[in-house]
A and B are shown apart, each in its own frame.
Chain A
Amino acid sequence: MSGISANYYDGQSSKRHAVSIQLDANGMLSIHGDSLSACYPLDEITMAYRIGKRVRMIKLSDGASLEAETTPELDAILDQTKQHKHQGLVHRLESKLKYIVMALLLTIAFAFGFLTWGVPALAKSVAFSLPVETQDYLGEGTMEVFDEYFMQPSKLDKTRQAAIEKRFQALISGLDERDRYELLFRDSEKMGANAFALPSGSIVLTDQFIALAENEKEIDSVLAHEIGHVHFRHSLRGAIQSSSAAVLIALMTGDVASMSSFAATLPTLLVNMNYSRQFETEADNYAKQLMKEKGIEFYHFARILTRLTASHDVADDDDSLNFLSSHPSTKERIKSFQ
């Protein structure tokens, strides 16, 4: 007798019966052991899961069960039951190398796609639906921290400030009414020549930046770029994107470890740098549009950017580091404005 050896449990007690099973000539599953002998029609096999390669657990309609090592003969018998056959598909996906590799690549593609397009799209819709008060609140909070630690009141004389403010008003006249802009002057040795925009619509210029500019049109060109950041709500979107990417990556990689926040930092950093590069490009394109409208030549931005880069001694035009650089290669940006 060439039966498949298995353990039989009747479901009433934990008693084990060593049995031998086979498919008999009438298509019945026959079970033989020292103390029992039984026959089941195949449709009385109610559950036969197919997971992994070691064992098969077979449930019978009367509550009894069989445990057997997996053999091709056994799978051939079980394949005649509906459930086992249906699961064959998932089981094949789970156990054949080519499907596993395909599943892995598809999953990576989905994760990549979600991080590249899904998260920014979500952040965009959230940023544009947040009430004005929230944006003001976030902007004021950031400004307080900056004023406390990095910046002092501007030492620029009032007439110069008023002149720049006037040009700023001219720049924003005719722009989308829903966007609000505000120009602020600060002195900061620590930040050096710098210009940045906050969620509240505040654009900050440092005295060091004004000193670096050789003419008013250079200042205008940088203001145009910052107006672009405000218009697209970049700082808010950046904050939302980096936190949601961190949550997503922590969910994906951190479910075993208690150090999930640590586990998520490295990939999050890489993803965020990629996001901020996209924002710079977007703001640059906005600036070009605005400069064209207001009759400011592009080369002004190229010149001030060259000097800004030099003043910060940033050597980021090395293409091999391009992915890690938080701005698009400055060389590329300067070239696009010439």
Chain B
Amino acid sequence: MEEENSDTRELSIEFTGSGSEYFGIWIVNILLTILTLGIYTAWAKVRTRKYFYNNTRMDGAIFDYHASPIAILKGWAIVVGVLIVQQVLSSINILYGLGLLLAIMAFIPWAMVRSRVFNLLNTSYRNVRFYFEREYKELYTIFLIAPLPIIVGYGLFFYVAISAESAEVTPDTGIMALAGVFILAGFVLLPYYLHRFYSFIITRSSFGRTPFENCSSAGAFYSIYLKAFGLGLLVGVAMMVVMGVSAGLADVADGVISVIMGVLAFVIYLIGIYYVIYFIEATKLNEIWGKTSIDGNRFISKLEPWGLMWVMLSNTVLIVITLGIYIPWAHVRMTRYRLNHLLIEVTGDMDNYIAKGHKEMGALGAELGDAMDFEISL
């Protein structure tokens, strides 16, 4: 296929939904879900997704969502059935319930992959479906190995501490240090596994037959988490300084000033902690998306920590004040903010992506993932 046009342009992603329009869909979804004792959730989910996808527009074309409510309903019914069995087993003997819970947990990576396959397969742009390779090994590897040093470390720590306690001797410092090394190593390795996870999610995804590529590095993840760690320390120091000054003033000034200083320290803490959280979120997504490309067309992500934090916190406050009525507007605002900060740099037109034949699949994994809140979103 020859490129007729080799101009490079930046395409923005536009979100055309509105809070008031979505409110109608949202409230009718809730009411019908109540009236049907939950059965309508399947239709509610499809209509919500469809509304958001149909209002996502790039280069004059819109996204579409195709999942069949019946497929989702079947998955939902199985999940509800399993949860009921789990409850019944727990009430007979708590150990049976825990056993089943462990068995369900073993399915989490499987459910994540299935959920991703189901959702991408049911997403289209220009009538070409997205796709996700069914590969389970990598996720199982990550989920089994990543937490291992931390579990071993804590296990060792508590084992030694408890046995020393019961024998009334001081715990062996050598073994305690070893436990500490395990725990530390576990946390130090987390950004590596996190990067591996995101990289897996993106590079197994494709648009039609064209795979997404990702060249982000684990090093960048380490740099993000190091900066976040530094920011966290800075917040701690700033708080200490304010509290120290307030303690020093307590002798010379009246109580009002030390109260004000106390409030100030709390505000610094609150803003600082949320800033660190949204700093990680924004820079991580910028790194992942910024290093993602498809067929040579590069994504650009321009999320800002302050912007993200402002939308998130003001949404929360408005939801509380309105006792939940604001939720649809909050969803729309968040979606618009996120999509407006994602661009794609395209060379030529986007006419040449070839569709891949697809089979419909069940929604069990997707539902399991949803029920346990494990759906992957980027």
Give chain A's interface residues, CB within 8 Å of chain B: 7, 9-16, 47, 49, 51-55, 57, 63-65, 67, 90, 93-95, 99-100, 103-104, 106-107, 110, 252-259, 262-263, 266-267
By the criterion CB–CB under 8 Å, are B330 and A256 in contact? yes
User: How many Å from the CB of A25 to the closest CB on chain B?
Assistant: 28
By the criterion CB–CB under 8 Å, are A255 and B327 in contact? yes
Q: Is B232 an interface residue (CB 8 A)?
A: no
User: How many Å from the CB of B203 to the closest CB on chain A?
Assistant: 20
| B315 surroundings in chain A (CB, below 8 A) | 256-257
Q: Is B60 an interface residue (CB 8 A)?
A: yes
By the criterion CB–CB under 8 Å, are A52 and B51 in contact? yes
| B324 surroundings in chain A (CB, below 8 A) | 252-253
| B323 surroundings in chain A (CB, below 8 A) | 253, 267
By the criterion CB–CB under 8 Å, are A253 and B319 in contact? yes
5 closest A-B pairs by CB: A9-B127, A257-B316, A253-B324, A14-B353, A14-B126
User: Which one of B30, B47, B125, B350 contacts A51 once the chains associate, using CB atoms below 8 Å?
Assistant: B47
Chain B interface size, as a band, is 35 or more
Q: Is B375 an interface residue (CB 8 A)?
A: no
In the complex, per-residue mask of B123-156: 1 if CB is within 8 Å of any chain A CB, else 0: 0111110000000000000000000000000000
Complex Cα gap A183–B31 (Å): 49
> Can you report 16 residue pairs joining A to B where beta carbons are below 8 Å apart?
A9-B128, A11-B355, A12-B354, A13-B355, A14-B350, A14-B351, A15-B352, A51-B25, A93-B28, A103-B24, A107-B27, A256-B319, A256-B331, A258-B277, A258-B316, A262-B316
| B16 surroundings in chain A (CB, below 8 A) | 54
Query: Can you name the residue of chain A whose Cβ is closest to the Cβ of B353?
Result: A14
In the complex, per-residue mask of B106-128: 1 if CB is within 8 Å of any chain A CB, else 0: 00000000000000000011111
Q: Is B17 an interface residue (CB 8 A)?
A: yes
Complex Cα gap A61–B96 (Å): 49
Complex Cα gap A93–B316 (Å): 28
| A67 surroundings in chain B (CB, below 8 A) | 61-62
Give chain B's interface residues, CB within 8 Å of chain A: 16-17, 21, 23-25, 27-28, 30-31, 34, 43, 47, 50-51, 54-55, 60-62, 64, 66, 124-128, 208, 277, 312, 315-316, 319-320, 323-325, 327, 330-331, 334, 350-355
| B17 surroundings in chain A (CB, below 8 A) | 52
Dominant secondary structure at the A interface: mixed
By the criterion CB–CB under 8 Å, are A263 and B320 in contact? yes
Complex Cα gap A103–B32 (Å): 9
| B21 surroundings in chain A (CB, below 8 A) | 52-53, 95
With A9-B126, A95-B21, A252-B324 given, name 7 new contacts (CB 8 A). A13-B208, A53-B21, A103-B28, A253-B320, A256-B327, A256-B334, A262-B320
Query: Can you name the residue of chain A whose Cβ is closest to the Cβ of B34?
Result: A110
| B55 surroundings in chain A (CB, below 8 A) | 52, 54
| A266 surroundings in chain B (CB, below 8 A) | 320
User: How many Å from the CB of A45 to the closest CB on chain B?
Assistant: 14
Query: Can you name the residue of chain B whose Cβ is closest to the Cβ of A9?
Result: B127
| B30 surroundings in chain A (CB, below 8 A) | 103, 107
User: Which one of A13, A49, A63, A107 contacts B31 once the chains associate, using CB atoms below 8 Å?
Assistant: A107
By the criterion CB–CB under 8 Å, are B54 and A99 in contact? no
Given A253-B327, A256-B319, A55-B54 contact (CB < 8 Å): yes
User: Which one of B27, B31, B125, B319 contacts A14 once the chains associate, using CB atoms below 8 Å?
Assistant: B125
By the criterion CB–CB under 8 Å, are B331 and A94 in contact? no
Query: Can you name the residue of chain A whose Cβ is closest to the Cβ of B324?
Result: A253
By the criterion CB–CB under 8 Å, are B64 and A57 in contact? yes
By the criterion CB–CB under 8 Å, are A104 and B27 in contact? yes
| A64 surroundings in chain B (CB, below 8 A) | 127
User: Which one of A14, A54, A103 contacts B54 once the chains associate, using CB atoms below 8 Å?
Assistant: A54
By the criterion CB–CB under 8 Å, are A14 and B25 in contact? no
